[in-house]
């Protein structure tokens, strides 16, 4: 710790990459747990998306440090989980968001693997007043892919709509869990 009070101590987030059946994954870890799991096909683009996510207010004082070697056990667990989400992820998570986002994400984590819920049903069950659109916005803001299972949320007619990491990945995740 610096004795210089002019500089706030930056929180260090370590990150690394892995390869899954759904594409490349970037995993970022704080001292509290997994803070981000992002899916994509291009490491440079994923690194930019990660930096963008941590430029938001909740992460205004974060330093990103690439440490694939130091995170290898975590990355291996995340890759195995993305490839078989019904097995669950035995790692602590460190989600950051508004009170409403955190409530939505908690509700998503309660949806059993192999099941889906509608945006409206989740909104109605929340402890805070929320609309289906609020739930959709919280899903769009989620940066912990699969572990906070936004892919388990569908439209009221049962159809699959937007997914931050592509509708094709959402459909594959739902199908992968359906065989569990």
- Check residue 74 and give its pLDDT: 97
Question: Could you give the CA distance from residue 39 to residue 7 in angstroms, rounded to a whole number?
Answer: 34
pLDDT above 60: residue 3: no
- Check residue 179 and give its pLDDT: 52
For the chain, the domains span 11-87, 99-178
The pTM of the full predicted model, rounded to 2 decimals, is: 0.89
pLDDT above 80: residue 79: yes
The arithmetic mean of pLDDT across residues 67-96, rounded, is: 94
Catalytic residues: 150
Copy the structure tokens of residue 42.
């291009």
Is 113:86 a contact under the CB 8 Å cutoff? yes
User: 47-56, 95-104, 137-146 — which is least confidently predicted?
Assistant: 47-56
Question: Could you give the CA distance from residue 170 to residue 154 in angstroms, rounded to a whole number?
Answer: 10
86 to each of 65, 80, 177, how far by Cα in Å?
A: 30, 10, 6
The arithmetic mean of pLDDT across residues 28-43, rounded, is: 96
13 to each of 2, 49, 50, 80, how far by Cα in Å?
A: 19, 14, 11, 22
Fold of 11-87: Double Stranded RNA Binding Domain (3.30.160)
- Check residue 104 and give its pLDDT: 97
Could you report the per-residue pLDDT of 123-158, keeping only the tens digit for each? 999 999 999 999 999 999 999 999 999 999 999 998
Copy the structure tokens of residue 91.
């790692």
Fold of 99-178: Arc Repressor Mutant, subunit A (1.10.10)
């Amino acid at each position: 710790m610096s004795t210089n009070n002019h500089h706030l101590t930056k929180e260090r987030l370590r990150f690394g990459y892995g390869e899954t059946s759904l594409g490349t994954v970037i995993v970022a870890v704080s001292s509290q747990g997994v803070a981000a799991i992002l899916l994509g096909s291009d490491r440079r683009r994923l690194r930019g998306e990660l930096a963008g996510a941590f430029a938001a207010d909740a992460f205004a004082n974060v330093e990103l440090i690439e440490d694939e070697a130091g995170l290898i056990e975590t990355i291996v667990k995340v890759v195995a989980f993305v490839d078989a989400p019904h097995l669950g992820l035995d790692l602590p998570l460190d989600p950051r968001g508004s009170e409403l986002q955190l409530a939505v994400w908690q509700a998503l984590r309660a949806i059993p693997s192999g099941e889906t819920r509608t945006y409206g049903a989740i909104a109605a069950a929340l402890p805070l007043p929320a609309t289906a659109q609020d739930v959709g916005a919280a899903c769009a803001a989620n940066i912990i892919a699969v572990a906070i299972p936004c892919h388990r949320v569908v439209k009221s007619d049962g159809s699959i709509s937007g997914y931050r990491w592509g509708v094709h990945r959402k459909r594959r995740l739902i199908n992968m869990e359906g065989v569990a």
